[in-house]
Amino acid sequence: MTATSRRIVLRALVLWGGLALLLVLPPAAALADQPFYLTLVTRMLIFAIAALSLDLILGYGAMVSFGHAAYLGVGAYAVGILAYHGVNAAWIQWPVAIVASALVAALIGLVSLRTSGVYFIMITLAFAQMLYFLGISLKIYGGDDGLTINARTDFGGVIDLASNVVLYYLVLAVLLGFLLLGQRLIASRFGMVIRGAKSNERRMRALGFPTVRYRLVAFVIAGTMCGVAGVLLANLTNFTSPAYMHWTRSGELMVMVILGGMGSLIGPIFGAFALLALEEVLSSYTQHWQFILGPVLILIVLFAKRGIYGLLGAARESAAAGPPAAGPPHG
């Protein structure tokens, strides 16, 4: 067997094996009487959704959004505020959360996509911080302390989210659904435009593409997906708080994407699991776990440039090699 085909087999084993493990986790956790693990993995899956949505624009479109956690907050607050007013019905909560995150993403995108590079990073960060402070200022909804949610989203008896197991499978289904959607999107005409604009925007314009328009749509799709992650997070924790939108959260999402492997959609899932697991393990040893986490992350990124998923030999095998096209001598 050649090295490449060995890697393909290894990759398939890891992916399908991982999925099988995820599918049997709830009964296994119940048997072992370790409900804690169910909650932990649900949380990992939710952040995997958020990281995957960020990868869509960061990895494929080079849109370095440093405020992606804002949509986690918008989704979570949509659930929290509606629940506070006694509205728990899924058919209201979900559409409201989705529309709200899409609108917020459209607004942020409209302004930030006029810029690029460091300015884009700073503007997306600034918008997210504005929402963070807005959350703090909403005193009736708990302000700084956050807002406790009394009941989970009500699916009218079809799906009973009061059960942690049901919530777990819902989260897993959403992640797999978004993964499929994302993969179709990346390979579609739309995805080609997003990737082309990352590769050479000037060329895209010269070919006839209004690149900003396409980028904006991608930005809104990613924000909306992350908003759904926020809805799920609020349901898991029965709580929403401005902390969901803090810039460190946005930074964590970015770390998950880079750590797992940018531009692969699957990589960020690994990244989310790895980062949250590291946090969990390190924080059980010491309060100052962040001082250990930093160097560990740097090492991983240094030695696995294409992230954890890259170690499995995945993600753009053909295109990754080789230097960019060298220009001819001028004049």
Partner 1 sequence: MAEALLEIAGLVKRFGGLLATDNLHLAVRAGEIHAVIGPNGAGKTTLVAQLQGELKPDAGTIRFAGADVTRLKPHQRAVRGIARSFQITSIFPDMSALDNVALAVQAHAGHSFGMWRSAATEAALRTPALAALEQVGLAERGHSVAAHLAHGEQRQLELAMALATRPQLLLLDEPMAGMGKEDAERMVRLIGGLKGSHTVLLVEHDMDAVFALADQITVLVYGRVLATGTPAAIRANAEVRRAYLGDEVAP
**8 Å CB contact between 59 and 256:** no
Nearer to partner 1, 114 or 203 (CB): 203
Give me the least distance between CB of 218 and partner 1, in Å please. Answer: 10
Nearer to partner 1, 94 or 214 (CB): 214
Q: Which positions lie near partner 1, rule CB under 8 A? A: 184-185, 187-193, 195-196, 199-200, 202-211, 214, 217, 318-319, 321-331
Query: H/E element holding 304?
Result: none
Question: Which amino acid is residue 290, in one-letter code?
Answer: Q
Give me the least distance between CB of 213 and partner 1, in Å please. Answer: 9
Nearer to partner 1, 124 or 211 (CB): 211
Give me the least distance between CB of 124 and partner 1, in Å please. Answer: 23
Cβ-count burial 92-110 (b if 16+ within 10 Å, e if not): ebbebbbebbbebbeebbe
**8 Å CB contact between 240 and 234:** yes
Give me the least distance between CB of 261 and partner 1, in Å please. Answer: 16
At 239 the three-state DSSP class reads strand
Nearest to 218 by CA among 101, 34, 60, 330: 60
Give me the least distance between CB of 239 and partner 1, in Å please. Answer: 34
Nearer to partner 1, 204 or 231 (CB): 204
Distance from C-alpha of 49 to C-alpha of 55, rounded to nearest angstrom: 10
Distance from C-alpha of 88 to C-alpha of 72, rounded to nearest angstrom: 18
Nearer to partner 1, 55 or 154 (CB): 55
